């Protein structure tokens, strides 16, 4: 299927609306990315103030989600988009949910800093930061792929999630070992485990968005299929 | 048992075939009738122009068993060929006693020894007389048989003499005559010297003319009939001399065309039995033209009022019904109305106001071209109104609405949009009106058309167009010819020729109008 | 808080005279004894596209025709109430209706070019206004055709008959014809119902362009169209104005049940 440019409608206003919608998603994505970067900074340097700001900023992201959702609704009601336009609007509608949830997860991570429950072990902290950095990179890649509607780079980003999962599992088993050594520190570890879980979830949501991008670009639902399958089907397409 | 077993058309297909056959049968009958009419008129009317071969044959006339005559066959009665002994023919032949041209219905067996007479000629005189005879010599002193060689030269001389006579009449006699009559009217005593001089000059010129005429009179043509009697005619009377027996088909065709031209361009002679019909043609076309000029604006305006401005109530409906019924009123009623209202009523009143001096001799209160046109306009008015209304109704409402929406008033919309779009419809009405007016006879005879009018309604005399003059009309001419044909021999073929011409005139007027209408239609009606 | 999307923020109830193109006050209209419009009061904002929607026979076409008094052609039509355009009550008996119609252009359902050349079609209104100078006409024709996005298609055949144009071009020609008079208000009575979808989109885009120049009131049977093109939408039902608000609100969250039923296709 040939990719259709979104700004070629007869109605100039519709073009502008779709462009604005797309840009607003990128704006929202950028805001979430900034949240993650701020969170990493807050963890690394233990800055509760910055973490506080991240938590407050989440409200702005929620508002963005509402606005974009409203706009999607309005466009569907007024413009009756079809085919690629409809897929775009629906994809955006789903994407922003995922982005909003990413924001929520990030808020939860930054809560570690505000509650001063950061891991005392430098090893764990650095591993955690490593995963965070990887997720941030993945997020950047995801939004980049979304902006360019480039399913190839979306697939590359998709693959990164396995690395993150590996790291996550390694760190998880390490922490489980630590807990077994010292069961009293269980309470402290629990919060960290939640935060780690959140980071991993952010990666998963990036993966979701990548799936949407592939679906949007190819006009086929690419979710919930294994990577091999997807690659095979992509080969069939091209 | 099926009750309808006895029908020959038992199933739907048969019934349908029967219906179609019936329709086709009646259509064919109609077609045959039409073709018959056209063929008859073409044959009889066209034959008027074709130079028939002249035969020499014996015929029992005036108790004599056999008189040799020159004559021509004008078609048989019934469908028989020339060789058929039992057939009866219309013969047109020349006799040495007046009337020279005679017509008779003769049985074939009574025609004896018919032979083509190569040396016999059809001789046409300016006064309309026709001879079928053998030209034998020019002037008394000339030898026989060399007529054609010398004829052109003689005719030239005669023409020169005629020119001289005309010149003298125009330049000298005419003014002298006027001068003398005015002098006589004024006072014969005081101007007696002048009067005398004038009279003397007049006499001098007069005698000169007489002398010239005498000279001209010496140029004669002597014709010999088949019974060897001769007649001598002055050469200046000779209009046409043709030997049909010596012409081939192409020459005959040329001659026919010449005859047609003469027919179209010459005034009638011999009480509408010979000569051309130009005044009638002219009168018909002029009358129709004037009528169109009158009826179109009247009809269109009336229709516009009726369909656009008149309130939609019972009165309007009644008017509309009345207009439709007007189309069915017999035309003679219009004639009587025109005579009573236009001529005696309006014309008489105008005479009283404007030309009181010349009463009781009427000036405008007599039948004339204008009144005839007006009457015909009245007669055709309903046709134009109905057609125009139809045309106006066919203008789409959205076009009108579009015009109003651009700030046009009702009148502006009418003028700029609706009327142009209705113009094909209006033209249809005008076509019908023209066809009807050109063919009417009865009312015209009451209001201005005459058998013979001395002057055309248009001439070089101020005001050039004389609307009060009586005029000649093709239909009236045909009617007149038909009357003649019952009593006289010579009118019939002319009548048919005039019929043919009338058909052509109506046809041409219609063609012009149809072409015009199609042009308008192309321009103003959207193709769908 | 960051605002991602700009929104219309005119309050229809409190428009001032400057912002109002047409003010309708207590308009009642009846054909013979049958009431067609009852107690319509609305303000139509200037330089906006206002759509009138409703079922057939709800009076929307009648209402739009009130704005240039096209209803006057029905002798049985009686109306009362005020319609104020440019500070004047056009329902007044002394109103110069022809002049009014020159200022309030109207385009109808079926393209109705006059049977003349394209050029003459556009000059029609101007000539009625007394413009005869050829140069003035030339300029006006070019401008009007450019405004109606038709210039490039017809500039080489201005003197061809208008009937050679396609349906969409004819409708744009009709719009150009109205625009040549530089109207303040353009009334469109189902302007695209006789056209194919793509041509319809072209006309709609044209409307969006024309918004800068004049106020547009459009009657449409096509709700999607109303949603697409209009800034404000009025829903009429049985001669009454049921709901009148900005289209975003009306088509996403209508306040009245009747509106909801109509726009969601729930009428019996």
Domain boundaries, chain C: 21-263
B125: nearest Cα among B240, B219, B220: B240
Cβ-Cβ contacts under 8 Å for A221 (sequence gap 6 or more): A215
Looking at the complex, report in whole angstroms how far the Cα of residue B388 sits from the nearest Cα belonging to chain C: 18
Q: Residue B527 has what pLDDT?
A: 44
Q: Is the bond preceding B360 in cis, omega lying within 30 degrees of 0?
A: yes
pLDDT of residue B484: 64
Question: Residue A94's closest CA among A237, A221, A201, A196?
Answer: A221
Question: Residue B143: what pLDDT?
Answer: 59
CA distance A114 to A53: 10
pLDDT band at A72 (very low <50, low <70, confident <90, very high): very high
Please report the pLDDT score of residue B144 as a whole number: 58
Separation in Å, CA of A42 to nearest CA in chain C: 23
Q: Provide the pLDDT for residue A4.
A: 59
Residue B47, pLDDT > 80, answer no
Residue of chain C nearest B419, judged by CA positions: C115
What phi and psi, each to the nearest 5 degrees, are found at residue B220? -130, 170
- Residue A1 confidence (pLDDT): 38
Query: Are B406 and C101 within 8 A, CB to CB?
Result: yes
The confidence score (pLDDT) of residue B138 equals 73
Model confidence pLDDT, tens digit, residues A181-218: 888 778 778 888 888 899 999 999 999 999 888 888 87
Instruction: Examine the pLDDT at B146 and tell me if it is beyond 80.
Output: no
pLDDT for the residue B78: 44
Q: Which residues contact B483 (CB under 8 A, 6 or more apart)?
A: B491
Over chain B, what is the mean pLDDT?
79
Q: In degrees, to the nearest 5, what angle opens at C-alpha B239 toward C-alphas B234 and B241?
A: 95
- Per-residue model confidence as pLDDT tens digits over C47-69: 999 999 998 888 888 999 999 88
The answer to whether the CB of A156 falls within 8 A of the CB of A144 is no
User: What percent of chain C has a predicted confidence (pLDDT) above 70?
Assistant: 99
**Nearest residue of chain C to residue B308 (CA atoms):** C73
- Nearest residue of B to residue C71 by CA position? B401
| The pLDDT of residue B113 | 67
Report the Cα–Cα distance between both ends of chain A, in Å, rounded. Answer: 9
pLDDT at residue B210 is higher than 50: yes
pLDDT at C116: 86
For residue range B459-503, list pLDDT tens digits in order: 766 777 777 778 888 888 888 777 765 555 555 667 777 788 888
Domain ranges of chain A: 12-237
- ipTM rounded to 2 decimals: 0.88
Interface chains of chain A (3 or more CB pairs under 8 Å): C
For the record, the structure tokens of C262 come out as 């109509």
Of C4, C208, C248, the CB nearest to A12: C208
Q: Are A11 and C228 a contacting pair at CB < 8 A?
A: yes
Record: contact A11-C1, CB cut-off 8 A: no
Which of the four pLDDT bands, split at 50, 70 and 90, describes residue C201? Answer: confident
Which residue is it, tokens 């040329």? Answer: B254
Give the Cα separation of C245 and C230 in Å (integer): 11
Distance separating alpha carbons of residues B59 and B112, to the nearest angstrom: 7
Q: Tell me, what DSSP letter sits at residue B356?
A: G
Do chain B and C touch: 3 or more Cβ pairs under 8 angstroms? yes
Look at residue A238 in the predicted model and tell me its pLDDT: 62
- Cβ of C228 within 8 Å of Cβ of A74? The answer is no
pLDDT at A2: 47
Is residue A140's pLDDT more than 90?
Answer: yes
pLDDT digits (tens, 9 = 90+) for A96-116: 999 999 999 999 899 888 888
Q: If you measure CA to CA, which chain A residue comes closest to C206?
A: A11
* CATH, range A12-237: 1.20.58.220
Nearest chain A residue to C199 by CA distance is A10
Average pLDDT, chain A: 86
Alpha-carbon torsion (C116, C122, C123, C126), positive or negative: positive
User: Which chain C residues contact residue B408 at CB under 8 A?
Assistant: 98, 101, 124-125, 128
**Chain C partners within 8 Å of B406 (Cβ):** 101-102, 105, 124-125, 128, 177-178, 181
C69 and chain B in contact, CB less than 8 A: no
Find the residue in A nearest to C249 (Cα): A74
Q: Are B and A close enough to touch, i.e. 3+ CB pairs under 8 angstroms?
A: no
Q: Measured between CB atoms, which of A10, A27, A78 is closest to C251?
A: A78
Q: Is-cis flag, bond preceding B99, omega within 30?
A: yes
User: Does residue A34 carry a pLDDT above 90?
Assistant: yes
Distance CA(C194)–CA(C232), nearest Å, equals: 23
Q: Do C247 and A27 touch (CB under 8 A)?
A: no
Query: Among all residues of chain C, which has the CA nearest to that of B417?
Result: C114
Which of C5, C246, C254, C260 to probe by mutation at the A interface, max A CB count within 10 Å? C5
pLDDT at B450 over 90: no
Q: How do residues C119-157 score in pLDDT, each as one tens digit? A: 999 999 888 888 888 898 999 999 889 888 888 888 898
Confidence check: pLDDT of B186 > 60: yes
**B394-430 per-position pLDDT tens digit:** 888 888 888 998 888 888 888 888 888 888 888 888 8
The pLDDT score that the predictor gives to residue A94 is 92
Q: Which residue has the tokens 């609305």?
A: C42
Work out the angle at residue C237's Cα, subtended by the Cα atoms of residues C232 and C242, and round it to the nearest 5 degrees.
50
Alpha-carbon torsion B10, B11, B13, B18, what sign?
Answer: positive
CATH number of C21-263: 3.40.50.300
Best mutation site among A7, A11, A29 for testing chain C: the one with the most C CBs within 10 Å? A11
Q: What is the mean pLDDT of residues B158-177?
A: 83
CA distance C91 to C80: 8
Residue B528 confidence (pLDDT) above 60: no
Cβ-in-10-Å burial (0-12, 13-18, 19+) of A98 comes to: buried
∠ CA B391-B395-B396, rounded to 5°: 155
Query: For residues A104 and A97, what is the distance between their CA atoms, to the nearest angstrom?
Result: 11
Exposure on the CB side of residue C238, measured as CA atoms within 13 A? 1
Q: Examine chains A and C and say if they touch (3+ CB pairs below 8 A).
A: yes
Which percentage of chain B shows pLDDT scores above 90?
Answer: 8
Asked whether residue B79 carries a pLDDT value surpassing 60, the answer given is no
Residues of C in contact with B526 (CB under 8 A): 115, 163
Are C102 and B523 in contact (CB < 8 Å)?
no
Residue C225, pLDDT > 60, answer yes
Looking at residue A37, what is its pLDDT?
93
Pairing status of strand C88-89 against strand C49-53: unpaired
Across the interface, of A11, A64, A71, the residue whose CB is closest to C204 is A11
Mean pLDDT for the stretch of residues B438-459 = 79
The pLDDT value recorded for residue B162 is: 84
Residues in C closer than 8 angstroms to A26, CB to CB, are none
- Residue A42 exposure: Cα atoms within 13 Å on the Cβ side: 28
DSSP string computed for A48-80? HHHHHHHHHHHHHHHHHHHHHHHHHHHHHHHH-
Give the Cα separation of B454 and B462 in Å (integer): 17
Select the highest-mean-pLDDT range: A222-231, B173-182, C206-215.
C206-215
How does residue A53 score in pLDDT terms, banded at 50, 70 and 90?
very high
In chain B, the percentage of residues whose pLDDT exceeds 70 is 84
**Confidence grade of residue B31 (pLDDT, cut at 50, 70, 90):** very high
Structure tokens of C118? Answer: 């394209």
Instruction: Please tell me the predicted confidence (pLDDT) of residue B83.
Output: 54
Would the CA dihedral through A108, A114, A120, A121 be positive or negative? positive
Picking from B405, B416, B421, the nearest residue to C68 by CB comes out as: B405
Are C125 and B406 within 8 A, CB to CB?
Answer: yes
* pLDDT-derived band at B141, boundaries 50, 70, 90: low
Give the mean pLDDT of B319-340: 89
At B351, the pLDDT band (50, 70, 90 cuts) reads confident
pLDDT reported for residue A33: 93
Interface of chain C toward chain A, CB-CB under 8 angstroms: 1-5, 198, 201-202, 204-205, 208, 224, 227-228, 247-248, 251-252
B222-234 exposure pattern, b = at least 16 Cβ within 10 A, e = fewer: bbbbbeeeebebb
Question: Residue A63's pLDDT is what?
Answer: 93
CB-closest option in C98, C100, C112 to B408:
C98
Give the pLDDT of residue B4.
Answer: 58
The mean per-residue pLDDT over the stretch C14-42 comes to: 88
Which residue in A81, A86, A75 sits closest to A17, CA to CA?
A: A75
The dihedrals phi and psi of B135, each to the nearest 5 degrees, come to: -70, 125
Task: Look at residue B259 in the predicted model and tell me its pLDDT.
Answer: 80
pLDDT tens profile C162-172 = 888 888 889 88
């Amino acid at each position: 299927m040939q990719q259709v440019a979104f700004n070629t409608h007869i109605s100039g206003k519709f073009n502008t609306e779709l462009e604005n919608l797309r840009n607003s998603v990128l704006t929202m994505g950028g805001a979430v990315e900034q949240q993650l970067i701020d969170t990493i900074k807050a963890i690394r340097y233990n800055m509760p103030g910055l973490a506080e700001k991240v938590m407050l900023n989440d409200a702005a992201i929620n508002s963005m989600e509402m606005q974009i959702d409203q706009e999607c609704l309005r466009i569907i009601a007024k413009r009756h988009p079809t085919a690629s336009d409809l897929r775009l609007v629906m994809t955006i509608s789903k994407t922003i949910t995922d982005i909003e949830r990413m924001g929520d997860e990030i808020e939860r991570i930054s809560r570690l800093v505000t509650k001063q429950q950061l891991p005392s072990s430098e090893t764990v902290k650095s591993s955690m930061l490593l995963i965070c950095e990887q997720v941030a990179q993945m997020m950047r890649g995801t939004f980049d792929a979304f902006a360019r509607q480039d399913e190839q780079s979306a697939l590359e980003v998709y693959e990164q999630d396995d690395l993150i999962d590996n790291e996550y599992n390694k760190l998880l088993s390490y922490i489980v070992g630590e807990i077994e050594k010292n069961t009293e520190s269980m309470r402290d570890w629990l919060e960290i485990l939640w935060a780690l879980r959140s980071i991993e979830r952010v990666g998963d949501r990036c993966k979701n968005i990548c799936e949407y991008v592939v679906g949007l670009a190819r006009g086929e639902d690419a979710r919930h299929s294994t990577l091999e399958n997807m690659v095979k089907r992509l080969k069939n397409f091209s | 048992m099926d009750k309808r077993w006895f029908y020959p058309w038992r199933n739907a297909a048969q019934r349908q075939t029967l219906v179609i056959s019936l329709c086709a049968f009646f259509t064919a009958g109609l077609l045959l009738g039409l073709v018959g009419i056209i063929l008859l008129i073409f044959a009889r009317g066209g034959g008027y122009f074709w130079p028939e071969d002249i035969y020499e044959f014996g015929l029992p006339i005036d108790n004599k068993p056999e008189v040799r005559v020159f004559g021509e066959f004008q078609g048989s009665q019934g469908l028989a060929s020339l060789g058929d002994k039992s057939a009866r023919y219309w013969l047109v032949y020349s006799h040495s006693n007046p009337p020279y041209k005679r017509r008779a219905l003769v049985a074939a067996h009574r025609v004896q020894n018919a032979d083509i007479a190569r040396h016999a000629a059809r001789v046409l005189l300016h006064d309309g007389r026709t001879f079928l005879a053998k030209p034998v010599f020019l002037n008394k002193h000339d030898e026989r048989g060399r007529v054609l060689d010398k004829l052109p030269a003689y005719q030239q001389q005669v023409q020169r003499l005629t020119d001289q006579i005309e010149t003298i009449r125009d330049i000298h006699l005419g003014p002298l005559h006027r001068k003398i009559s005015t002098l006589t009217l004024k006072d014969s005593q005081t101007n007696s010297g002048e009067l005398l001089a004038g009279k003397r000059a007049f006499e001098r010129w007069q005698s000169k003319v007489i002398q010239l005429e005498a000279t001209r009179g010496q140029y004669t043509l002597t014709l010999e009939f088949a019974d060897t009697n001769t007649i001598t005619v002055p050469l200046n009377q000779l209009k046409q001399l043709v030997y049909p027996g010596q012409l081939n088909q192409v020459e005959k065709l040329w001659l026919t065309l010449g005859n047609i031209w003469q027919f179209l361009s010459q005034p009638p002679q011999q009480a509408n039995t010979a000569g051309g019909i130009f005044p009638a043609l002219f009168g018909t076309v002029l009358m129709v033209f004037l009528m169109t000029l009158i009826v179109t604006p009247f009809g269109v305006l009336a229709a516009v009022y009726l369909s656009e401005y008149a309130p939609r109530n019972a009165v309007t409906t009644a008017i509309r019904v009345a207009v439709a019924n007007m189309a069915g009123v017999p035309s003679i009623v219009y004639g009587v109305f025109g005579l009573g209202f236009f001529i005696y009523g309006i014309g008489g009143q105008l005479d009283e106001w404007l030309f009181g001096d010349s009463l009781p001799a009427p000036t405008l209160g007599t039948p004339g071209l204008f009144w005839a046109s007006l009457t015909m306009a009245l007669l055709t008015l309903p046709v134009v109104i109905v057609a125009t209304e139809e045309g106006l109704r066919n203008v789409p409402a959205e076009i009108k609405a579009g015009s109003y929406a651009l700030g046009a008033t009702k009148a502006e919309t009418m003028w700029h949009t609706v009327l142009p779009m209705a113009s094909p419809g209006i033209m249809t009405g005008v076509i019908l009106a023209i066809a009807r007016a050109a063919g009417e006879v009865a009312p015209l005879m009451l209001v201005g058309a005459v058998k013979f009018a001395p002057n055309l309604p248009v001439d070089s005399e101020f005001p050039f167009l004389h609307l009060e003059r009586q005029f000649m009309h093709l239909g009236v001419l045909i009617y007149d010819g038909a009357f003649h044909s019952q009593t006289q021999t010579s009118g019939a073929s002319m009548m048919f020729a005039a019929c043919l011409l009338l058909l052509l005139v109506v046809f041409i007027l219609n063609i012009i109008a149809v072409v015009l209408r199609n042009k308008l239609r192309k321009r103003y009606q959207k193709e769908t | 808080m960051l605002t991602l999307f700009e929104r219309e923020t005119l309050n229809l109830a409190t428009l001032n005279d400057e912002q109002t193109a047409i003010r309708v006050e207590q308009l009642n209209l009846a054909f013979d004894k049958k009431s067609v419009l009852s107690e319509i009061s609305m303000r139509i904002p200037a330089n906006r596209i206002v759509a009138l929607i409703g079922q057939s026979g709800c009076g929307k076409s009648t209402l739009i025709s009130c704005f240039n008094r096209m209803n006057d052609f029905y002798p049985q039509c009686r109306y009362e109430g005020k319609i104020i355009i440019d500070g004047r009550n056009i329902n007044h008996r002394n109103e110069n209706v022809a002049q009014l119609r020159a200022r309030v252009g109207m385009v109808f359902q079926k393209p109705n070019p006059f049977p003349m050349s394209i050029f003459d079609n556009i000059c029609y209104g101007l000539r009625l206004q007394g413009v005869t100078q050829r140069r003035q006409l030339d300029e006006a024709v070019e401008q009007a055709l450019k405004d109606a996005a038709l210039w490039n298609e017809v500039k080489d055949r201005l003197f061809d008959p208008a009937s050679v144009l396609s349906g969409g071009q004819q409708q744009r020609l009709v719009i150009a014809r109205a625009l040549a008079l530089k109207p303040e208000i353009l009334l469109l009575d189902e302007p695209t119902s006789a056209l194919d979808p793509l041509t319809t989109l072209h006309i709609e885009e044209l409307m969006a362009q024309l918004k800068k120049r004049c106020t547009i009131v459009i009657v449409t049977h096509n709700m999607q169209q109303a949603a697409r093109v209009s800034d404000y939408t009025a829903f009429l039902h049985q001669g009454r104005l049921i709901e009148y608000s900005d289209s975003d609100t009306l088509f996403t969250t209508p306040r009245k049940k009747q509106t909801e039923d109509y726009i969601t296709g729930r009428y019996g």
